[in-house]
Amino acid sequence: MQIRIDLLSKIPIYVQIIDQIKHMIATGTLKPGDQLPTVRQLAADLRVNFNTIARAYRMLDEESLISTQHGRGTFILAPSNEANGEALRRQDIEWLTRHFLNEAASLDYSAEQVREIFEENMHLWQAAGSPPSEHNEEV
């Protein structure tokens, strides 16, 4: 499990962790039954406070995305129904959008500049039937 923390982001670390775990669940990288690292292990790996990881895990547990079984570990739960799976996918695209917008803002792009480039790429996607490749950028 690969989680990356951006210490310069305005997004709290525990939220970054929650969002990335949700993303991994939504994309199938983490599947029902997969075991997560212990709170202590993930805190050590990410070099963050133990309580930060505990808070993220507690919030994921409250959303019924994970289950901590004392003495056994923390595991990914299966979505309780199709609607929950779709809600998780929606949360994932919202996370990607927020991440994109925060990155653009950190590079000093204005909202209007971002909108213009985004709309150009959406038109390319609609015309071609697939998203523009990251490797086919105009120079």
Classify residue 5: in a domain, yes or no: no
* Domain range enclosing 41: 13-79
Tens of pLDDT, residue by residue over 18-27, are 999 998 998 8
- Contact yes or no for 73/42 (Cβ under 8 A): no
Classify residue 52: in a domain, yes or no: yes
Tens of pLDDT, residue by residue over 42-59, are 999 999 999 999 999 999
Residue 74 DSSP SS3: strand
Q: Which two tokens stand for residue 3?
A: 């989680």
Classify residue 45: in a domain, yes or no: yes
Q: For the domain that residue 37 is a member of, what is the CATH number?
A: 1.10.10.10
Answer yes or no: is pLDDT of 95 > 90: no
Q: pLDDT band for 6, please (50, 70, 90 cuts).
A: very high
CA atoms of 136 and 139, how far apart (whole Å): 9
Residue 27 DSSP SS3: coil
Q: Which two tokens stand for residue 115?
A: 């909108």
Parallel/antiparallel/unpaired status of strands 73-76 and 35-36: antiparallel
Classify residue 71: in a domain, yes or no: yes
**What is the tally of structural domains in the chain?**
1
